Amino acid sequence: MTDTGKQALAALIDSDLGVYTTGGFTTGEGPGLDLISPIDGELIGTVREASEGQLDAAVASARATFNERSWADDGAHRAEVLRRLADLVVDNAEQIAYLDGIEAGKVFADSVAEDVEDVAANLRFSADLISRDDGRHLQGPEGWGWVRRIPIGVVGAILPWNYPIAMLGWKVAPALAAGNAMIIKPSEDSTLSALHFASLAEQAGVPDGILHVLTGTGANIGAAMGLHPDIDVLTFTGSGPVGRSFLESSAKSNLKKVSLELGGRAAYIVDAEHAGDFDAIASDIAGAAFGTSGQNCTAASRVVFVGDDDAAFERFRSALVAAAEAVTVGDPFTDGTDIGPVINAKALDRITAWVDEAVNKGARILNTTAEVPTSGTWYPPTVIEGVPADSELGRGEIFGPLTQLLRTSSRDEAVAAINDEPYGLASTVWCEDLGTAKWWSDRIRVGTLAVNGYSEGTVATPFGGLRQSGFWGRDNGPEALETYQETMTVWIAPQ
């Protein structure tokens, strides 16, 4: 199963090919980056980072290739290339899933079935969109107008590690479809699948100079991209403080557009009056809260039971505990594993410290937590109750396999618990009465509201956050294409 993955790993690591740029793969000219697997804490290999000089050269090449226009002007050709790339991504599912498994602890079977498929779907969806894009035309006595959507130019993408290949797909598919050139910096915790993707892009016919992948840390290549005077739009998924820094660096440099997806504290509301099968709901919550070890910006990190019936609440709590205890934690490459490790020691230390603080202040862990391996960075699925508001867990994004159980007696209190948060990315409501479900959707203010089952929508639905969960652009849907386009008016005077 993983032989092809091991070959893909060796091809990148053994020759230290951490940079894909004009002319193909090369070695970084920056410091060495140790790649540590969260599964066992072992060194996977060392790859040298790109230097700032290599970033400058990549941006210059991207600009020159964009200006040459054959890519930007030929939407039909781009659509054809993106469809070929989608097929190659599916053909390389095992290699990609292996790289994300070994480097980021992603569950191999989930990556093959979901993340890789999502990239292919996004490439095909974006190809379809661009095939139909001919702008808007106007006509009148004042003249004749053409409102065009044109590519912005050079896109910088700074990626997270939690869904390495899927987040790359969310950015690359619309940005390339729109006709831009791109510089991608994967997270230093998950750099390899992006490099493998670059080799597929080359095979698919993405022209030399259009796509660049640079291994590097946030502090050097990431910060340099934020300040770069010739990157026109920067798209980012990650933490709030880093996202905010890009707004500052945009102001200090060339006023590049900045599109930010900054995570959340999603709630999963159970409207007890209209919720039938608590076991089925709890099982859905376990997937929403613990999938990808809770390292998901839409993870259900709070479960809000709405209702006054104490006996119903006890039944629901037992179902939730049972669902958490049924989650299988283990080797991401073993069939049947639900969740693997958390990304690194820093994340593990933070999760542990936040839970310890909450417990010291009176919170209670409800489930019997699973045994986890002692090497690598692991945290067991955890359900916690009574988290004080004045704790880190009471305020922050845990980004780990943990959910807190809350209870309100009124729907309005539950709405306030979501809308009063600085985060506004996503939430789920379980409510089997259609009219009441509409009531919830009229009041809850988040970017994505899932009803009667956790979901982030599809490649056709826009994804992004309200309030401090995001800034400006959207991933997915036709809205993502617009994030990488400018509007231009051509006005032809009557003769």
Which parts of this chain interact with ligand NAD (CB under 6 A)? 158-162, 185, 187-188, 217-219, 222-223, 226, 237-239, 242, 245, 261-263, 297, 397, 399
Which of 21, 485 has the CB closer to ligand NAD? 21
Q: How many CA atoms lie within 13 A of 318 on its CB side?
A: 6
Q: Active site residue: 49, 94, 103, 297, which one? A: 297
Report the nearest approach of ligand NAD to the CB of residue 254 (Å).
16
Q: How far apart are CA 181 and CA 72, in angstroms?
A: 9
Residue 316 Cα distances to 11, 89, 96, 282, 385, angstroms? 50, 41, 39, 8, 13
Helix (H) / strand (E) element for 198: namely: helix 192-204
C-beta of residue 256 within 8 angstroms of C-beta of residue 471: no
Extract the tokens encoding 263: 């995570």
Closest-CA residue to 195 (of 453, 341, 18): 18
Q: Which is nearer to ligand NAD, 351 or 431 (CB)?
A: 351
Burial 432-449 (b: 16+ CB within 10 A, else e): eeeeebebbeeebebbbb
Q: Which is nearer to ligand NAD, 239 or 253 (CB)?
A: 239
Instruction: Give 71 or 354: the residue with its C-beta nearer to ligand NAD.
Output: 354
Active site residue 261: yes
Closest to ligand NAD by CB, 229 vs 494, is: 229
Out of 49, 188, 261, 397, the active site residue is 261
Q: Which two tokens stand for residue 264?
A: 């959340």
Q: Which is nearer to ligand NAD, 122 or 485 (CB)?
A: 122
Q: Which residue is nearest to ligand NAD (CB)?
A: 218
What is the residue whose two structure tokens read 């009219």?
Answer: 435
Q: In the sheet that 19-21 helps form, which strands lie side by side, from edge to edge?
A: 24-26, 19-21, 211-214, 181-185, 154-158, 233-237, 257-261, 470-471
* Contact between residue 398 and residue 354 where contact means Cβ atoms under 8 Å apart: yes
Residues in CB range of 440: below 8 A, 6 or more apart: 269, 271, 411, 415, 429, 431, 449, 451
Question: Mind telling me the catalytic residues?
Answer: 261, 297
